[in-house]
Amino acid sequence: MLFERIEMQGAGDVSLCAYILDSSGEMPNMAKRPAILVCPGGGYHFCSDREAEPVAMEFMTQGYNAFVLRYSVKEASEWPNPLTDAENAMEIIKKRADEWNIDSDKIAVIGFSAGGHLACALSVMGRIRPNAAILGYPCILDSINPILANDPPSLDSYVSEETPPTFIFASSDDGCVPIEHSLQYASALAKEKIPFEMHIFNGGGHGFSVANHTVCSTKESQANTKLASRWVKMCMDWLNKTFDI
């Protein structure tokens, strides 16, 4: 496996970590691999470690090359700086697709909470858009702006026929990002006839990431997120089908 950290131009301390799996003649189906760009959450105040490398590792087990974007946060997160960071990350992945054995038509983005807002923004207004979007308990509506570090726009009104297929997951007891964010975005996707799948779990709270022992701080929190952990397999099945893998 190749690991490379790329320092990027940006308003803040921006970097892209690339996790590139080895190629082998024994695995001809993976001569060209799909890829996933990971946008951690953190309210645009920071980029959560819990929603970064652990997420990348899950997708790598399914044969995806993975990229973790640490985008502009805090004072540097004035909109659209984070979106510019995500667009630049996509441009890097596309430009180096041959070098990294990536199928440039099978690049997805996944984001959590505020990172979900960023992933969603990339999918509905980015100058370089992903082929699929995965949104975990995403911030969508500007009604949540008081708790974010910047003043990002609502995104449901930007859904169009150019929006890629989307997978959404969240929990009904999320005490940070109201479930209406996911529901209203799903409604916008349905209105534009964009293929999507959504799962609202009965438990998990907010910020459960991949919901296993690697990211849960206590056994109690792991037990509370057990049902929500099913999103990982559900998402993999959906994405593999979407990418015809």
Neighbouring residues of 183: CB distance < 8 A, sequence distance ≥ 6: none
Whole-angstrom distance, CA of residue 226 vs CA of residue 235? 16
Neighbouring residues of 29: CB distance < 8 A, sequence distance ≥ 6: none
Indicate the burial class of 2 (C-beta count within 10 angstroms; 0-12, 13-18, 19 or more): exposed
Please write the tens of the pLDDT for every residue from 173-228. Answer: 999 999 999 999 999 999 999 999 999 999 888 889 898 887 766 555 555 567 78
State the chain's mean pLDDT as an integer.
92
Query: Which domains are assigned to the chain?
Result: 2-242 (3.40.50.1820)
| Stretch (H or E) spanning 122 | helix 114-125
- Whether pTM > 0.85 for this model: the answer is yes
Please write the tens of the pLDDT for every residue from 59-87. Answer: 999 999 999 999 999 999 999 999 999 99
Whole-angstrom distance, CA of residue 130 vs CA of residue 94? 10
Q: How many CA atoms lie within 13 A of 241 on its CB side?
A: 12
Nearest to 210 by CA among 192, 225, 194, 190: 225
